[in-house]
C-alpha cells in the first residue's frame, strides 16, 4: 500500500503532464473553455499527491512503516550494470517533499486566476505538472540517477518558463543564458554519478553516504566536489549567482515557485541528503562555508541597491541559501533543513505577493542605507553593478559555450555533411525562390537532380537508394575530388588543418582539455 | 594624432550657444512625444497621445505613426469580423465612406459600368486584399480547385498583357556592376531621422545592441528615480546632479579587459562636466552630422519610451518628492544614454568585424564594400529568399575573408531584386485585385472578360487605399453604429424618465453618485427597485477640492481632479485623544510589521534568518487558505483586525481655524471658512440641478476600488480624485451641507434646504460593491431607523449590480443567485491571485450631460458617464460651460486612454500583467530589464470596445455653439474629433449631431422601433457581450413628475 502510494507520488503529476502535453500537440490551438479542465486536472492531481505525501510521511514518521528505499524494478540495463527505479522512504525526504508539494499546489491555484486568458495557459499548467513530478523525483529518488533525471527535468521546465513570452528577445536570451550556466552544475552532478558508479558500483544515495570506508580521500573529495558544484549552481551561489536574476522573465507565480520557493532549494537539499559523506571531507565543508559566506555578503551588498521587486527577492534568496550553506559547512544540518523549509514557504508568499508590495508595505519606503559607507562611490558601484558577475559569467561561460556550438555547427555543415553527402542543399531547396524557379519550369519534383531514378515497390526503392548513394559518391569524391578540384582540395585541406589547430588553441578548448585532465588525474590518483 | 583630436573632442567648447539652445528646445519638446504617465501610485487616466491633441484625431494618429511606426487603429480584420457579426452594418459603412471620401458616386469603367466608386471602396474595406508572400500564394493555390487555378492563371496573364501600356517595364538590362552607392547614402541618411546608430547597426547585423545597453541604463536610472524598493541610491546626486554624480561613479567599466576597447578610456578622459556638453561631445564623437542632432536625440528618447517618459515626467514635476532636493532631467538621461551607447556600440562593432562605431567610418567602410552592404541589408531586413540565407550568413561571419564570393552573390541578389521591382508580382500585386474582384462578386466568366483598363484601375485603387485610411473609415463606421443605437434610445426615452421636475413632489431620497460609468448599473437597479428614489451624477470629488490627510496617513494627498490645485487642507482626527493614541500605536505597529515582512525580509538576511522560521507556519496556513478560499481568508483577517484593532470614531476638521487667512494653492489653509463652504455647496447644487425639491435623505456616494496584488490599483479608483478614493470628499460635503449656518447662507442666496433634509456621506467600492457610510453617529434615533430603510434599498442595488457585473467576467459564476454574486466580488477583491479584480472603465463609450430623467428608463449597459445638469436652470449656459470644461477632458482622458491601450496594447498599453515586475514603486517592467510599461494592462482592456466618446449634452444648440466659440479647449477636443458631440433639446427632444465640418445637424431617428424590456435583468441575461441600449418598462407612479 505505502509502496504503491510512494510510486504514485511522482507518477500522477507526470502522467498529467504527459496528458496535457499530448493535448497541446493534438489540440488545434488553445481554447478558453479548456482552462477550467486543464487547471482542474492539474490541481486535483497535485492535491491528491499532497494527501498521499502527507499520509506516507505520517506513516513513516510514526514508525508504522520502516524507512529505507523501495525498489520498483529496473530502468536501464547496460551489460551487468543496472539503473533501478528506487524511491526513498524517509522522514527527511518525505517531509521536504510534502512542504514543497504544498507550495507547488499554492502556485498552481494562484496561476488559475493570474494566467486566465493568457496564451500559453495550457503550456504553463503542463509545465507546472511536469515540474511537480520532476521535483518529487528529485526529492524522493533513492539513487543519483533518478535524482539527476528529476534535476534535469526541473531545469528544462525552468528553461521553458523563463522563455514563457518567447517573443521578447530578453526572455529568450536569458533562458539560454540560464540554461547554459546550469550545465556547469550538470557537469558536477555527472562527475558524482560517474565516479560513484566506477568506484562504488552503485549510485544509491544510501551507498554514497555510507561509502566512507570504501573510498580513499581523493575519491571522496572528487565525489563531494561534484555534488557541491551541482548544488552551488542550482542554488545560485557565488560565482554562479547571476543566473537567478536573469531567470525572472517568466510569469509571477512560476518565478515565485522556481526562483524563490522550491526549485532553488534543490541544491541545498542534495547537500543535506549527502551529509554523511560531506562530513568526511573537510575541504568541501570549508568550501561550502566560504561560498555561503561570499553569497551572503554578495546578497547583502547587492540587495541594497536593487530597485525592482522581483530581483530584490531573488538577491535575498541567494543570501538565505548562502546562510543554509554556511549552516551545512558548520555541520548544523538540522538547522539548515528547517531554515530551508521556512525560507521556501515565506519566500513563496513574498514573491507571490510581490506585485502588491506598495499596498502591502503600507506605502512605506525601505529604510535608507545611511552610514559612512553609503557615500562611497566605489562601494556603491560594486553594489549596483553586482560585482560584474553577470558580465563575467557571460564572457567566461555563456559566450564561449555559444561559440562552441557555433564551431560544432560549422563542423557539421562544412565537414561532416560534406563527408556523408550533403542533405543541406535539399533542405534549402524547399524555399520560396526554389519554388518559384520550379514553378517556372513546371517541374513537380523538389529537385530533379536528386531523383534522377524512380520506381515503386520495395525492391525499386532500394535500387533507387543505392543508385543515389553511388551517384553522390561519384559526384563528391570522384568528380570533384579527382577532377577539376583536386589541387584546390589539397590546399583547402591544409587550410582546414591550420584552422583546426588554431581553434584548438582557443581558451574554450584548453579549458575543456584541462578539466578532462584534472578529472582523470584525480580519479587516477585513486 | 590622438583620438581626442580625431573626433573633435573639444568641439563642444566651440559650439555656438544657439545650437545648444536648440538642443535644449528639442529636449523640452520631447514632452509631447513621450508617454506622460505619472508614477504608478498616482495613475490618472489621460489621453495617451496628449502631445498631439492640438491636431485633429486622424492627423495626430498619422503623425504619431510616421514618427514611431506605431499604428493606433485596430487591425482591419477585427472590423471585418464585427461586420460579419452585424456589429457594423452596410449602412454604417456607407455613411463612413461618404463622410470620409469625396466623389463616391462616380461610376467606374468596369464591366459595363455597373459599379460606383463607393462599391469598389467598400469592397476593398470588406475584403482581405493584402499582398501575399510567394509562399503564401503557393499554399493557397494548393487549396484551389482546378477551375479556380485556371481562372487565376488567365487573370494573371491579362495583367502581363496590359503591363506595357501602364508603364510597367518587363524587360530589364543585366547590370554587370554592383551599384549600391545611392542606396548606401539613403540608408545612412536615415540616421537621426528614423534611426539611431543602434538602429542602423541593428539593420546591418540583425543583433540589437540595446539589449546590452538597456540593463546598464536601467541601473543608472533606477539609482536616482527609485522611491522605496532600494535602500541605497546614487551617492550625492542631489547635490551634484545626476549626470555629474553618475560620471564620477561610473568612470569606465571594469570589464574593458574582455572587450579590449582601447579608445573608450581616451574618450572618457575628455568627457565634459556639463551634461549638455557631454551630449554634444558624444554626438561629435559618433560623427553624427550636426544638422541631425535634434532628431537624433528624439530618436534616442523614443527607443526606450517608458524610462524616458518617467524622467521627463519628473523633470516637469519638480515639486514631486521635493525632499530629495534635486530633479532628474532628460539632459542628464540623454547624456548617460549616449555615453553608454558609445561604450557598447564600440564593443559591438568590434565583435561584428565592423570599423569603429562612427557614422563617417561606417559610411566609408560600406562605400568601399558595397557587396557586404547589400548582403547585410538584404539578409537582416528579411528580403532575402531562403535559399541564399545560409550562404550569406556564412559569408558574413568573417567578412574580410570572403570578399570575392560576396561580390558574386551580391550581383546575383541585385539582379534578383531588380527583377522583382520591374515585374508585376502575382503574389504581391495581382492577388489583391483578384480578391477584390471576388468581393465584387464577379463570376469566373466576367473575370476572364475583364479588360486590362479595369484591371489596372482596380490595381491602382487597391494600392492607393492605405491601411491607415481604411482603418479610419472602419472606426468611423463602428462608432456611427453605436451612436445610432445610443441616440435612438435617448430619443425614444424622451419624457419617460422620472424627476425631470420635482416641484410637485419630493423624492424619498436622492443619491448622488460619481459620474463614473461603473455606477450606471447600481443607479438603474435602485431606481427600478424604488421609483421614489432619485439618483444624480457628478464628478466624484463633489466640488470639494482639498488636500486630505486621513487618520491612517502620514501626509496629505490631493483629492480632486489633477488639473485642480487645491488651496485647503482637511484632516481627520479621533474624537478622543486616548483613542487617537491607541489608534496611532496600533497603526505604527502594523506599519512596523509590514516593514519587517515586506522590506526587511528582502534586505536584511540576518534578520530574515530569525524571522522566517517564526513566520513560516502561519504563512503556510495563510497561503493555503487564501489560495483556496480567498473570501474566508478575508473574513478571518477582518475578524482578526476587529479583535485586536478596534475601530475608532473620528471627525473631520472642516472649519478653518483662521478664516481670515487667504487660502491659495501655494500656501494652503487648514479648513474652509463659512463663505467658502457655502460657495462650494452652492456651486455643486446648482451644477447638478439639485437646487430645489430636496428629499429627506441626500446621500453623497464617493467611490474607490480595493484589490490585492495590483500595481495598477490607482487606475481603478476615482479619476476625479486623482486616482484615489472619493469617500472623504463625500463626507466633507455632507458635513458642510448639514451645518445650519451654511444652510442659512444658502437660503439667502435662494437655495432653501428643508430642515428635515439630511446629507450623508458614503463610499461605494466598485470592486466588491461594499458601501460604507460616514458619520451615522450624528443621526438621532428616529433618523437612524429611517435611514436603515435607505440602507436596505442600497443593499438591493449592490446585489443586483454585482449580479449584472458577473456576466462580463469569464471567471465569474453564470446566472448566480444574488447573494452568491455579491459574495463572488467580495472574494474576488480579496483574492491575491486575481489579475482582474474588476473591469474598470472597460465598458465606457459615452457621456450624457443633462437631467437623469433623459436617461432614466433605459438600459445603457454601464457604458455611460452620467453627469447631472439641469438646462432649465441655466438659460445662458454658464454652468454648462464650467461642466464641459471640467468633465470633457476627464471623460475624454479616460476614454482615449482605453482606446489607445486597446487598439495597440503592446505599444500604448503595458501588455499582460503576468510578467510584470514592480520597479522602484513608480512603474512596472516586464521581467528584470525591460522598458517601463505605461498605459493599461491587457487584463483591463480585454472587453473594451475601442471607440471615441459620444458626448451627448441636454442643451440648446445655440447655447452649445456659443460655448464652443468661446472655448479653445473644447474646439480642440470636439473640433479635432477626439470626442463626438451631440445635443438633445431640453424642450422638444430633437437631437442634433455635431459635424466637424458643418456644425450641428438634425438627427433623424430610424423607422425601426426600439425594444422595451420588463427590467434590467431581461436586458442582460443570456449575454456576455456588450449590449445595445434598450428601454425598460416604467412603473406608473402617481404624483411623480415625468
- pLDDT, tens digit (0-9, with 9 covering 90-100), for A164-195: 988 888 999 999 999 989 988 999 999 999 88
The pLDDT value recorded for residue B562 is 85
Using CA coordinates, name the residue in chain B closest to A439.
Answer: B138
Q: Distance between the two ends of chain B, CA-based, in angstroms?
A: 91
Contacts B603 to A, Cβ<8 Å? 303-304, 312, 316, 366
Concatenate the DSSP letters of all residues of B848-910 into one string.
EEE-HHHHTTEE-TT-EEEEE--GGG-TT-HHHHHHHHHHHHHHHHHHHHHHHHHHTTTTTS-
Please tell me which residue of chain A has the smallest CA distance to B216: A385
Mutate to test the interface with B, among A346, A367, A418 (most CBs of B within 10 A): A346
Helices of type H across A353-431: 357-360, 377-384, 389-393, 399-410, 417-419, 424-429
- Sheet-wide strand order for B991-995: B864-868, B846-850, B949-954, B979-984, B991-995, B999-1002
% of chain B beyond a pLDDT of 90: 64
Strand partners, B764: B703, B771
Question: What is residue B262's predicted lDDT score, i.e. its pLDDT?
Answer: 65
From the list B688, B694, B689, B654, the residue with the least C-alpha distance to B674 is B654
Q: How far does A234 lie from chain B, in Å, by closest CA?
A: 20
Interface test with A, best of B215, B605, B923 (most A CBs within 10 A): B605
Instruction: Tell if the CB–CB gap between A253 and B913 is shorter than 8 Å.
Output: no
Asked if residues A332 and A305 have their Cβ atoms less than 8 Å apart, the reply is no
> SS3 breakdown of chain A: % helix, strand, coil, rounded to 5?
75, 5, 20
Which residues on A lie below 8 Å from B219 (Cβ)?
A: 384-385
| Alpha carbons B983 and B959: distance in angstroms, whole number | 10
Q: Does B914 reach chain A within 8 Å, measured CB to CB?
A: yes
Give the A:B interface size as CB pairs under 8 Å: 289
CA torsion angle A28 A34 A40 A42 (round to 10): 20
pTM of the model: 0.91
pLDDT of residue A428: 46
Would you tell me which residues 366-425 of chain B have a C-beta closer than 8 angstroms to some C-beta of chain A? 385-388, 390, 416
Distance of alpha carbon B256 from alpha carbon A388, whole angstroms: 11
- Say yes or no for a CB contact (<8 Å) between B916 and A392: no
* CA-based nearest residue in chain A for residue B600: A366
Q: Could you give the dihedral angle defined by the CA atoms of residues A159, A161, A164 and A170, in that order, rounded to the nearest 10 degrees?
A: -50
CB distance from B836 to chain A under 8 Å? yes
Sequence-distant (6+) residues with CB within 8 A of B14 are none
Contact B819/A at CB under 8 A: no
Q: Do B598 and A310 touch (CB under 8 A)?
A: no
Nearest CA in chain A to B615: A346
Give the three cell numbers for residue B678.
457655502
Chain B residue numbers with beta carbons less than 8 Å from the beta carbon of A164 are 914-915
Is the preceding omega at residue A239 within 30 degrees of 0, hence cis?
yes
Nearest to A268 by CA among A310, A207, A329, A218: A329
Mutation choice for A interface testing from B588, B612, B637, B706 by most A CBs within 10 A: B612
Residue length, chain B?
1042
Question: Tens of pLDDT along B516-566?
Answer: 999 999 999 999 999 999 999 999 999 999 999 999 888 899 999 888 899
- pLDDT tens for B69-119 read 999 999 999 999 999 999 999 999 999 999 888 888 887 777 666 788 898
Minimal Cβ distance to B134: which of A250, A313, A435? A435
Cβ-based contacts of A99 with chain B (< 8 Å): 620
Q: With an 8 Å Cβ cutoff, is B943 touching chain A?
A: no
Sign of the torsion formed by the C-alpha atoms of B812, B814, B815 and B816:
negative
| pLDDT band (50, 70, 90) for residue B169 | very low
pLDDT at residue B768 above 70? Answer: yes
A70 three-state secondary structure: strand
Rounded Cα gap, residues B80 and A289, in angstroms: 66
What is the mean predicted confidence (pLDDT) over B882-888?
91
A419's CB contacts (< 8 A; 6+ apart) are: none
Backbone angles phi, psi at B919, to 5 degrees: -120, 125
Q: Which residue of B lies nearest to A356 if distances are taken between CA atoms?
A: B709
Residue among A112, A113, A350 whose CB faces B601 most closely: A350
User: How far off is chain B from A435, nearest CA to CA, in Å?
Assistant: 8
Residue B942 sits at the chain A interface (C-beta within 8 Å): yes
% of chain B with per-residue pLDDT over 70: 95
* Residue A115, C-alpha cell as written in the block: 494566467
| B136 part of contact set with chain A, CB < 8 Å | no
Test A358 with B713 for CB contact under 8 angstroms: yes
Q: Cβ–Cβ of A384/B223 closer than 8 Å? A: yes
Using CA coordinates, name the residue in chain B closest to A348.
B623
Q: In this complex, which of A106, A309, A377 lies closest to B235 when CB atoms are compared?
A: A377
Q: What is the pLDDT of residue A453?
A: 44
CB contact under 8 A, A308 and B928: yes
Asked if B615's CB is within 8 angstroms of A366's CB, the reply is: no
- Closest Cβ opposite residue A248 in set B219, B228, B917: B917
Look over chain B and give the mean of its residue pLDDT values, rounded to a whole number.
89
Q: Distance (Å) from the C-alpha of residue B824 to the closest C-alpha of chain A?
A: 13
Cβ-based contacts of B942 with chain A (< 8 Å): 117
Average pLDDT on B849-867 reads 95
CA distance B292 to B23: 11
What is the radius of gyration, based on Cα positions, of chain B? 33
Put simply, whether B919 touches A (Cβ < 8 Å) is yes
**B915–A307: do the CB atoms touch at under 8 Å?**
no
Going by pLDDT thresholds of 50, 70 and 90, the confidence category of residue B1 is very low
Chain B window 217-276: which residues touch A at a Cβ cutoff of 8 Å? 219, 222-223, 225-236, 248-250, 253-255, 258
Cell of B145: 480547385
Q: Which residues of B touch A300 (CB under 8 A)?
A: 605
Please name the member of A300, A339, A380 whose beta carbon is closest to the beta carbon of B234: A380
Task: Give the mean pLDDT of B275-280.
Answer: 94
Distance CA A382, CA B868 (A): 60
Grid-cell match 478560499, residue found: B629
| ipTM score of complex | 0.93
Residue B149 has what pLDDT? 87
**Contact residues for B223 (Cβ-Cβ < 8 A; gap 6+):** A305, A307, A384, B230, B233, B234, B237, B246
Strand partners, A76: A83
Portion 304-363 of B in contact with A at CB < 8 A:
none
* Residue B854 pLDDT > 80: yes
Chain B residue with the nearest C-alpha to that of A344: B616
pLDDT at B143 over 90: no
Minimal-distance CA residue of chain A relative to B929: A170
- Record: contact A304-B255, CB cut-off 8 A: no
Backbone dihedral angles phi then psi of residue B949, each to the nearest 5 degrees = -65, 135
B610 to chain A, any CB pair closer than 8 A? The answer is no
Residue B333 has pLDDT above 70, yes or no: yes
Q: Do B255 and A391 touch (CB under 8 A)?
A: yes
Q: pLDDT at position B7, please?
A: 45
Q: Which residues of chain A fall below pLDDT 50? A: 424-432, 438, 440-455, 481, 483-484, 525-526
In this prediction, residue A448 carries a pLDDT of 40
CA distance B198 to chain A (A): 16
Amino acid at each position: 500500500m505505502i509502496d504503491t502510494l510512494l510510486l504514485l507520488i511522482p507518477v500522477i503529476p507526470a502522467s498529467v503532464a504527459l496528458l496535457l502535453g499530448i493535448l497541446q500537440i493534438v489540440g488545434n490551438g488553445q481554447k478558453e473553455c479548456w482552462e477550467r479542465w486543464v487547471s482542474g486536472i492539474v490541481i486535483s492531481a497535485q492535491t491528491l499527491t499532497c494527501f498521499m505525501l502527507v499520509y506516507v510521511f505520517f506513516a513513516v514518521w510514526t514508525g508504522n512503516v520502516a524507512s529505507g528505499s523501495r525498489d520498483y524494478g529496473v530502468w536501464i540495463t547496460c551489460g551487468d550494470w543496472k539503473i533501478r527505479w528506487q524511491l526513498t522512504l524517509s522522514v527527511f525526504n518525505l517531509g521536504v517533499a510534502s512542504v514543497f508539494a504544498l507550495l507547488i499546489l499554492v502556485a498552481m491555484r494562484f496561476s488559475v486566476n493570474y494566467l486566465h486568458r493568457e496564451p500559453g495557459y495550457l503550456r504553463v499548467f503542463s509545465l507546472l505538472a511536469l515540474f511537480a513530478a520532476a521535483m518529487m523525483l528529485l526529492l524522493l529518488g533513492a539513487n543519483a540517477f533518478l535524482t539527476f533525471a528529476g534535476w534535469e527535468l526541473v531545469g528544462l521546465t525552468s528553461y521553458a518558463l523563463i522563455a514563457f513570452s518567447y517573443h521578447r528577445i530578453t526572455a529568450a536570451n536569458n533562458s539560454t543564458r540560464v540554461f547554459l550556466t546550469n550545465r556547469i552544475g550538470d557537469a558536477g552532478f555527472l562527475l558524482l554519478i560517474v565516479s560513484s558508479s566506477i568506484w562504488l558500483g552503485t549510485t544509491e544515495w544510501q551507498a554514497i553516504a555510507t561509502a566512507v570506508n570504501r573510498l580513499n580521500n581523493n575519491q571522496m573529495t572528487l565525489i563531494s566536489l561534484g555534488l557541491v558544484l551541482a548544488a552551488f549552481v542550482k542554488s545560485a551561489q557565488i560565482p554562479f549567482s547571476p543566473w537567478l536574476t536573469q531567470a525572472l522573465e517568466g510569469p509571477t507565480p512560476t518565478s515565485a515557485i522556481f526562483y524563490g520557493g522550491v526549485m532553488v532549494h534543490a541544491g541545498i537539499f542534495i547537500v543535506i541528503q549527502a551529509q554523511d559523506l560531506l562530513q568526511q571531507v573537510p575541504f568541501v565543508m570549508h568550501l561550502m562555508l566560504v561560498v555561503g559566506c561570499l553569497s551572503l555578503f554578495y546578497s547583502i551588498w547587492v540587495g541594497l541597491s536593487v530597485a525592482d521587486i522581483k530581483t530584490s527577492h531573488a538577491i535575498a534568496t541567494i543570501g538565505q541559501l548562502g546562510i543554509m550553506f554556511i549552516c551545512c559547512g558548520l555541520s548544523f544540518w538540522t538547522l539548515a533543513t528547517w531554515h530551508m523549509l521556512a525560507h521556501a514557504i515565506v519566500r513563496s508568499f513574498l514573491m507571490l505577493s510581490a506585485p502588491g508590495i506598495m499596498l502591502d508595505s503600507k506605502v512605506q519606503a525601505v529604510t535608507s542605507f545611511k552610514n559612512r559607507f553609503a557615500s562611497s562611490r566605489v562601494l556603491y558601484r560594486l553594489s549596483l553593478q553586482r560585482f560584474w558577475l553577470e558580465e563575467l559569467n557571460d564572457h567566461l561561460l555563456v559566450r564561449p559555450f555559444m561559440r562552441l556550438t557555433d564551431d560544432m555547427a560549422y563542423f557539421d555543415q562544412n565537414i561532416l555533411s560534406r563527408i556523408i553527402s550533403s542533405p543541406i542543399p535539399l533542405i534549402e531547396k524547399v524555399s520560396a525562390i526554389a519554388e518559384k524557379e520550379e514553378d517556372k519550369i513546371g517541374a513537380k519534383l523538389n529537385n530533379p537532380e536528386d531523383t534522377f531514378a524512380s520506381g515503386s515497390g520495395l525492391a525499386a526503392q532500394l535500387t533507387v537508394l543505392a543508385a543515389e548513394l553511388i551517384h553522390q559518391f561519384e559526384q563528391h569524391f570522384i568528380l570533384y575530388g579527382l577532377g577539376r578540384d583536386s589541387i584546390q582540395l589539397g590546399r583547402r585541406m591544409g587550410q582546414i588543418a591550420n584552422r583546426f589547430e588554431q581553434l584548438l588553441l582557443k581558451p574554450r578548448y584548453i579549458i575543456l582539455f584541462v578539466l578532462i585532465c584534472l578529472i582523470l588525474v584525480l580519479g587516477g590518483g585513486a | 594624432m590622438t583620438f581626442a583630436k580625431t573626433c573633435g573632442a573639444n568641439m563642444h567648447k566651440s559650439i555656438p550657444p544657439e545650437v545648444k539652445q536648440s538642443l535644449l528646445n528639442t529636449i523640452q519638446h520631447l514632452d509631447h512625444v513621450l508617454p506622460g504617465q505619472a508614477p504608478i501610485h498616482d495613475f490618472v487616466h489621460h489621453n495617451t497621445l496628449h502631445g498631439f491633441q492640438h491636431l485633429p484625431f486622424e492627423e495626430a494618429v498619422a503623425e504619431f505613426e510616421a514618427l514611431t511606426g506605431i499604428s493606433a487603429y485596430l487591425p482591419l480584420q477585427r472590423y471585418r469580423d464585427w461586420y460579419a457579426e452585424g456589429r457594423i452594418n452596410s449602412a454604417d459603412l456607407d455613411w463612413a465612406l461618404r463622410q470620409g471620401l469625396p466623389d463616391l458616386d462616380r461610376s467606374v469603367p468596369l464591366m459595363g459600368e455597373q459599379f460606383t466608386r463607393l462599391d469598389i471602396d467598400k469592397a476593398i474595406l470588406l475584403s482581405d486584399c493584402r499582398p501575399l508572400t510567394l509562399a503564401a500564394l503557393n499554399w493557397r493555390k494548393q487549396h484551389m480547385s482546378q477551375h479556380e487555378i485556371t481562372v487565376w492563371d488567365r487573370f494573371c496573364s491579362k495583367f502581363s498583357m496590359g503591363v506595357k501600356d501602364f508603364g510597367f517595364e518587363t524587360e530589364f538590362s543585366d547590370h554587370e556592376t554592383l551599384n549600391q552607392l545611392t542606396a548606401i547614402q539613403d540608408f545612412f541618411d536615415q540616421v537621426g531621422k528614423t534611426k539611431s546608430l543602434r538602429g542602423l547597426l541593428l539593420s546591418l547585423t540583425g543583433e540589437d545592441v540595446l539589449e546590452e545597453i538597456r540593463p546598464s541604463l536601467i541601473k543608472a536610472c533606477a539609482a536616482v528615480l527609485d522611491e522605496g524598493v532600494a535602500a541605497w541610491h546614487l551617492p550625492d546626486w542631489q547635490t551634484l546632479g545626476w549626470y555629474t554624480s553618475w560620471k564620477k561613479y561610473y568612470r569606465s567599466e571594469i570589464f574593458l579587459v574582455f572587450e579590449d576597447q582601447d579608445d573608450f578610456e581616451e574618450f572618457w578622459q575628455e568627457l565634459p562636466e556639463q551634461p549638455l556638453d557631454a551630449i554634444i561631445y558624444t554626438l561629435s564623437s559618433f560623427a553624427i552630422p550636426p544638422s541631425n542632432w535634434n532628431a537624433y536625440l528624439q530618436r534616442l528618447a523614443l527607443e526606450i519610451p517608458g524610462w524616458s517618459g518617467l524622467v521627463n515626467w519628473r523633470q516637469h514635476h519638480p515639486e514631486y518628492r521635493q525632499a530629495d532636493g534635486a530633479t532628474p532631467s532628460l539632459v542628464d538621461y540623454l547624456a548617460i544614454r549616449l555615453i553608454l551607447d558609445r561604450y557598447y556600440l564600440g564593443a559591438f562593432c568590434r565583435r561584428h568585424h565592423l570599423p569603429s562605431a562612427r557614422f563617417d567610418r561606417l559610411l566609408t567602410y560600406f562605400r568601399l564594400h558595397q557587396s557586404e552592404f547589400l548582403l547585410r541589408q538584404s539578409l537582416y531586413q528579411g528580403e532575402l529568399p531562403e535559399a541564399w540565407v545560409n550562404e550569406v550568413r556564412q559569408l558574413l561571419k568573417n567578412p574580410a575573408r570572403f570578399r570575392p564570393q560576396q561580390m558574386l552573390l551580391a550581383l546575383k541578389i541585385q539582379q534578383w531584386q531588380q527583377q522583382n521591382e520591374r515585374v508585376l508580382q502575382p503574389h504581391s500585386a495581382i492577388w489583391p485585385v483578384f480578391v477584390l474582384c471576388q468581393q465584387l462578386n464577379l463570376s469566373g466568366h466576367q473575370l476572364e472578360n475583364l479588360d486590362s483598363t479595369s484591371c489596372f484601375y482596380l490595381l491602382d485603387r487597391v494600392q492607393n487605399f492605405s491601411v491607415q485610411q481604411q482603418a479610419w473609415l472602419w472606426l468611423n463606421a463602428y462608432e456611427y453604429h453605436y451612436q445610432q443605437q445610443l441616440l435612438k434610445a435617448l430619443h425614444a426615452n424622451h419624457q419617460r424618465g422620472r424627476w425631470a421636475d420635482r416641484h410637485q413632489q419630493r423624492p424619498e431620497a436622492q443619491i448622488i453618485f460619481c459620474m463614473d460609468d461603473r455606477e450606471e448599473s447600481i443607479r438603474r437597479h435602485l431606481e427600478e427597485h424604488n421609483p421614489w428614489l432619485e439618483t444624480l451624477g457628478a464628478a466624484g470629488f463633489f466640488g470639494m477640492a482639498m488636500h486630505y490627510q486621513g487618520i491612517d496617513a502620514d501626509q496629505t494627498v490631493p483629492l480632486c481632479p489633477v488639473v485642480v490645485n487645491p488651496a485647503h487642507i482637511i484632516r481627520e482626527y479621533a474624537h478622543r485623544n486616548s483613542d487617537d493614541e491607541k489608534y496611532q500605536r496600533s497603526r505604527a505597529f502594523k506599519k512596523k510589521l509590514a516593514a519587517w515582512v515586506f522590506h526587511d525580509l528582502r534586505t536584511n538576511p540576518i534578520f530574515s534568518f530569525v524571522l522566517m522560521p517564526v513566520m513560516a507556519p502561519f504563512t503556510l496556513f495563510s497561503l493555503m487558505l487564501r489560495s483556496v478560499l480567498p473570501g474566508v481568508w478575508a473574513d478571518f483577517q477582518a475578524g482578526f483586525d476587529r479583535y485586536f484593532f478596534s475601530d475608532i470614531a473620528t471627525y473631520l476638521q472642516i472649519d478653518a481655524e483662521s478664516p481670515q487667512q487667504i487660502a491659495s494653492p501655494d500656501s494652503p489653509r487648514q479648513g474652509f471658512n463659512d463663505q467658502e463652504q457655502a460657495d462650494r455647496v452652492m456651486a455643486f447644487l446648482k451644477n447638478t440641478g439639485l437646487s430645489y425639491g430636496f428629499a429627506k435623505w441626500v446621500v453623497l456616494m464617493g467611490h474607490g476600488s480595493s484589490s490585492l496584488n495590483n500595481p495598477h490599483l490607482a487606475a481603478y479608483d476615482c479619476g476625479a480624485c486623482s486616482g484615489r478614493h472619493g469617500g472623504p470628499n463625500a463626507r466633507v460635503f455632507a458635513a458642510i451641507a448639514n451645518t445650519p449656518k451654511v444652510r442659512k447662507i444658502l437660503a439667502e442666496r435662494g437655495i432653501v434646504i428643508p430642515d428635515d433634509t439630511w446629507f450623508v456621506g458614503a463610499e461605494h467600492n466598485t470592486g466588491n460593491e461594499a458601501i460604507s457610510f460616514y458619520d451615522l453617529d450624528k443621526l438621532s434615533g428616529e433618523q437612524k431607523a429611517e435611514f436603515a430603510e435607505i440602507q436596505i434599498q442600497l443593499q438591493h442595488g449592490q446585489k443586483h449590480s454585482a449580479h449584472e457585473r458577473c456576466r462580463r467576467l469569464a471567471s465569474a459564476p453564470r446566472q448566480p443567485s444574488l447573494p452568491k454574486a455579491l459574495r463572488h466580488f467580495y472574494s474576488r477583491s480579496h483574492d491575491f491571485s486575481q489579475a482582474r479584480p474588476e473591469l474598470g472603465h472597460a465598458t465606457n463609450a459615452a457621456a450624457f450631460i443633462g437631467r437623469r430623467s433623459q436617461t432614466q428608463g433605459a438600459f445603457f449597459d454601464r457604458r455611460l458617464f452620467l453627469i447631472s445638469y439641469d438646462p432649465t436652470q441655466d438659460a445662458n449656459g454658464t454652468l454648462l460651460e464650467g461642466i464641459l470644461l471640467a468633465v470633457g477632458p476627464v471623460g475624454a482622458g479616460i476614454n482615449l486612454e482605453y482606446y489607445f491601450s486597446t487598439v495597440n496594447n503592446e505599444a500604448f498599453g503595458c501588455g499582460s500583467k503576468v510578467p510584470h515586475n514592480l520597479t522602484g514603486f513608480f512603474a512596472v517592467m516586464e521581467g528584470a530589464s525591460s522598458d517601463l510599461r505605461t498605459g493599461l494592462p491587457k487584463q483591463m482592456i480585454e472587453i473594451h470596445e475601442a471607440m471615441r466618446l459620444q458626448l451627448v449634452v441636454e442643451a440648446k444648440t445655440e447655447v452649445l455653439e456659443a460655448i464652443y466659440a468661446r472655448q479653445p479647449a473644447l474646439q480642440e477636443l470636439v473640433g479635432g474629433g477626439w470626442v463626438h458631440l451631440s445635443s438633445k433639446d431640453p424642450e422638444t427632444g430633437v437631437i442634433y449631431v455635431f459635424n466637424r465640418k458643418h456644425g450641428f445637424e438634425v438627427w433623424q431617428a430610424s423607422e425601426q422601433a426600439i425594444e422595451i424590456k420588463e427590467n434590467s435583468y431581461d436586458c442582460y441575461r443570456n449575454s456576455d457581450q456588450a449590449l445595445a441600449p434598450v428601454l425598460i418598462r416604467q412603473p406608473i407612479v402617481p404624483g411623480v413628475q415625468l
